[in-house]
Amino acid sequence: MSFFSGKVVIVTGSSNGIGRGTAVIFAKEGAKLTITGRNAQSLEETKQLCLKAGAKQSDILELIGEITDASFNERLISATVEKFGRLDVLVNNAGGASMTNFGKGIFDIPVDEFDQMMELNVKQVLRLSQLSVPHLEKTNGAIVNVSSIAAFHQQSKMPYYSAAKSALDQITVQMAASLIKKGIRVNSVNPGPVATNVVVAAGGTKDDQDKMFAGMGSSMPLGRVGLPDDIGKIILFLADRSQSEILIGHIVTADGGVTLKSAMFPDA
């Protein structure tokens, strides 16, 4: 029997990309799922993939809402516990960037965008995690945050996004140190390039997105860009106490070797 059989998992931002791939993997492992996003049609597609993976209709809760809305954060946790009676894993996957000022210097970008990036990538994670603690404490549960290798870059074409992800990494560490005392493990995965609709979601065009991914794989040490399943498997591992109990406050770089490269050794 799978470790996740009968356990309850929330995956935010699960209407596409990494969130969708992660939800399907948990469904295969027998978990009960709350999936959430802003697009009802896309979320329904995720649900159907979870059902195909082996989940029952009664084991899936769909919630449409804006992840930066504090009242929706409250509903997400309360509705999950009301339906399933418990919570074992919170996957804070939802987040995003903005293409509006892509490539501009940090002082050429309105500070309002910084506020937007912090709301989308950090503050909602804090709210959801805080709301989940009383329930995760009862189950010796886990929180897995999804950050980005953008947090590591010394120079970025999206400086406020990188700053927000750096903040999220530090939040992961601080949460981990605090919550392990309650039996809750917190870790993070920081993906590199992953083939999703991330550019379109950030306000770019499909053409922009295709250009970004075209040829990117050949320049990566691994020889290909990541796939949602690649990241989903790491999230599953980090949430599985039977496999990764000793990992606490760990930030897993999942980038196909991108961060091995540097200006000094560009052909690494």
d(CA 44, CA 127): 26
pLDDT given at position 262? 59
Please state the pTM of the whole predicted model: 0.91
- Beta-ladder partners of 194: 226
Helix (H) or strand (E) holding 90: strand 89-92
| 1, part of any domain | no
Tens of pLDDT along the chain (268 residues) come to: 799 999 999 999 999 999 999 999 999 999 999 999 999 999 999 999 999 999 999 999 999 999 999 999 999 999 999 999 999 999 999 999 888 888 899 999 999 999 999 999 999 999 999 999 999 999 999 999 999 999 987 668 889 999 999 999 999 999 999 999 999 999 999 998 888 765 556 556 666 656 666 666 677 888 888 899 999 999 999 999 999 999 999 999 999 888 887 554 556 5
| 145, part of any domain | yes
- Check which CATH number belongs to the domain holding 133 and give it: 3.40.50.720
Task: List the catalytic residues.
Answer: 161
d(CA 28, CA 22): 10
| 238, part of any domain | yes
Helix (H) or strand (E) holding 42: helix 40-52
Length of the chain: 268
Strand bridging mode 185-191 / 60-64:
unpaired
| 2, part of any domain | no
In the three-class reduction of DSSP (H, G, I as helix; E, B as strand; rest coil), residue 71 is classed as helix
pLDDT given at position 197? 66
pLDDT given at position 264? 47
pLDDT tens-digit series, residues 28-42: 999 999 999 999 999
Strand bridging mode 89-92 / 185-191:
unpaired
Residue 223 corresponds to which tokens in the numbers above?
A: 């020889």
Domain count, the chain: 1
| 125, part of any domain | yes
